[in-house]
A = this chain, B = another copy of it.
Amino acid sequence: MPDTRSQPRRPRSGSRRDEAARLAVLHAADDLLDERGFGALTVEAIARRAGVAKQTIYRWWPSKVEILLDTLIADSEKSLPVPAERPTAETVRDYLRGYARFLADDPAGKVLLALFAEAQHHPATAERFHERYLGPRREQERAMLAHVIDAGAVAPSLDADAALDALLGPILYRALTGTNTPDDTVDTLFETLLRPRTT
């Protein structure tokens, strides 16, 4: 049995995928988007900034959109998880507040907005965006909502998807137009659309 010391020591060799290169690409993409805007987010620029060859990017990601999806998924699982364990009306309200803050303040929020934008321009992007992000997330949101409805904590007058659109839509709309959505506005939306029994 050969060397089993699975050391992290040589990040720069071997026949396996280089984790350091992978992270360098993700961070470079994130940073570029944050610092210089989507217009500067070219594969060439990412490679330059990450100190990585273009080919390395094309080998592992079919397009720069997949890079953004990778960072978005990682970041939003961390910063904006959909409440899953015994959600209450309050949990849902806090999730909405968090969503507004995510879009307004978190660099990853810019990634989300950029992907909404790119999805308008390229159907293929739209498809991947739904498959990898919007779809799964909506699934979790539906589960969250179903749970609080079942518990009798809220009583929306719209079906689940329409209700979620009605809650998230305005927050996203304002983010798209450069306007923040403060907590009390979120709260009013929440109360108006979900008619919670207790808050």
Contact = CB atoms under 8 A, between A and B. Distances in A.
Interface of A: 37-39, 113-114, 116-123, 126, 130, 134, 157-158, 162, 165-166, 168-174, 176-179, 181, 185, 188-189, 192-193
Given A113-B120, A116-B117, A117-B118, 9 more contacts: A39-B122, A130-B178, A157-B188, A157-B192, A158-B188, A165-B181, A168-B173, A169-B171, A169-B173
A15 to B, nearest CB: 11
A119 B37 contact: no
Contacts of A38: 120-122
When all copies of this chain in the complex are counted, the total is 4
B165 A174 contact: yes
Contacts of A166: 166, 170, 189, 192
Nearest to A119: B176
B173 A123 contact: no
Contact of A172 (B134, B162, B169, B179): B169
Contacts of A170: 162, 165-166, 169-170
Contacts of A189: 158, 166
